[in-house]
Each structure stands twice: as structure tokens, then as C-alpha cells.
Amino acid sequence: MLRRRGLASPKPSTITQIIRRHGLPVGAFGGGQIHYKRFEHPEPNDLWQMDFKGHVALRSKERLHPLTVLDDHSRFNLVLAACADERTGTVKAHLTQAFRRYGLPWRITADNGPPWGNGPRDRFTPLGVWLIDLGVAIGHSRPYHPQTQGKDERFHRSLKAEALSGPPFDDLAHAARQLERWRDVYNTERPHQALGMATPIERYRPSSRPFPETIAPFQYQDDQAEPRKVCPAGRFSFKNRTFKAPRAFRRRTIALKPTTTDGVYDLIYRTAHIASIDLRRSMDQTQPVTDVPERLSPISPV
């Protein structure tokens, strides 16, 4: 940081003396440290990681819910929003601002809870369907495996230690100003060890995919795809049988495509695989509609 400002840096021994004089530990961590295999997407905007950093109290008696979005390749923080809640509309509004400023990523990953998931057995919500409409794939971390979102978790650790552990903010507006100051330092000034001591902004560049203000209708071009409209109750008919689609796809047009296994079909929405249907399970056409996890076997996200 000093060299970037045109200043001479002191010797490492001088820094060591300063650290020890303040009673701080020097050197690498001891034994027992867990080493995880590191993975990084090759380009900016290949993957964004998204989560809330819990919630903290404010002097105004409100609760602050910090929303964070991090680029996997560069560790660039795209969103650090002081939110009053964790609702779909709140997240959608902040993502829209980020998409207008930085363009669209190819994929966003989040955990399995709301507003981006209904648990590991029903991973599609209105927010996720909106992302699919935009051409952004939505992925989910493995349950009880926070390292899946390790970069955002590490970002949260710094955020908590440096911006959220002091005296409480007065209100949401005060929190927003302070978080934006901290975000600017994180993105533009602080060297990052995992980036070879570069700053996140030196590794990041906006996406070439602009945010569409209007979502265009989608037409299934594949001759094998059989479109079906999901009714307001969440049901659709296929091969003289009735199925129940995930709730997020009500009033939308899905399609079914045969797989290489006879009697098994993929359920797709636009270009996203949603589930699979196995018609070999029962030929009883009077059988009532069953829950999605039993009838529609969810497949792993791309």
C-alpha cells in the first residue's frame, strides 16, 4: 500500500517490532489449521456469491441485515447493502442496481434458505425464477457446508471484525454510509493475499452482458420439448397424468423433454433443468397428485 502511494516501505523487522510492541501475535498459525482446496473461476462474473451477514441491532431499535454479493474470481464486492429485512423484493432491488452497474453474471450461488431457496428439497423461489428469466443460473451450497461459499464467508469475517463489531450504528442510513466507506477501502486499497497482493478492483471488470429492462418472452425451439402451462394451483398435465410443479413456476410455461431412458423426462424452464419425471413409477391414472420431491425428483444444479 505504501509503494502504491509512492512511499518507501519499512523493513520487515521494523513492522515486527511495532506489532510486538502492541502485544499482537507474529508469525504463521500453529498446528491444527484446516487447509481447504482452493478453487477460483477463471473470469470475472463467471460466478457471484450471495448471502446475508446475519442481522445486528441499531440505536434506532431497527435491525440491520447486511446483504453481500462477491465476485468469485476477483473477490470484488459488488453489493454491500444496509437492508431492513431479507425479503425477496429487497434483494431483487439491490441486485437490479448491481446488474445495471456491472452487468449480468453467468451464475449466482446462495444457500438453501429464503429468499433464494425453500430448503434443499425445493430450491426454486420467485427470486430464483427471476434470475433464470434474466439468463443467470442459480446454484445452492451443500447443506451444512459453508465452505461452498468460502470467499463470501471470509469476506463476512472481515466485515464483522472491522465494520460491525464497534458501537451500533444510529440507523439504516448511518449504516449505509459507513458500510460504503468500508467497501471502498476493501475493493480499492487493501491488498488481498489470495490475489497475489493485488486489490479486488485490479482483478475485476464489468460483465459484457447488459441488464435487460424488459424480459423477452421465451419460445422452446427444440422439437422434442413439449410445453405445458402451469395453472395457478401449481398443476400441469402430461401423458394423461397430473403433476404438481414447484410453486415458483405457477402461471409459467415449462417444457418436458425425453431423456435417453424410456419413460423418464426432464422438466425444464427456459434453459434451466428443474426436475425429472419418471412415468414408470405408477400407471394408475387416478392416483392423486403427490408432493414435488416424491413425484418430481430434483436434479443437481448446473
CA atoms within 13 A on the CB side of 141: 19
At 195-247, the pLDDT tens digits run 888 999 999 999 999 999 999 989 998 889 999 999 999 899 998 888 988 88
pLDDT-based confidence at 293, cuts 50/70/90? very low
User: What number is the average pLDDT over the span 141-151?
Assistant: 63
pLDDT-based confidence at 289, cuts 50/70/90? very low
Question: 101 is written with which cell numbers?
Answer: 452497474
Same domain, 182 and 93: yes
User: What number is the average pLDDT over the span 71-96?
Assistant: 96
Same domain, 247 and 175: no
Element (H, E) at 187: helix 172-188
The answer to whether residue 22 is domain-embedded is no
Range of the domain at 174: 37-203
Give the CATH number, domain containing residue 103. 3.30.420.10
User: What number is the average pLDDT over the span 155-171?
Assistant: 91
The answer to whether residue 65 is domain-embedded is yes
The answer to whether residue 8 is domain-embedded is no
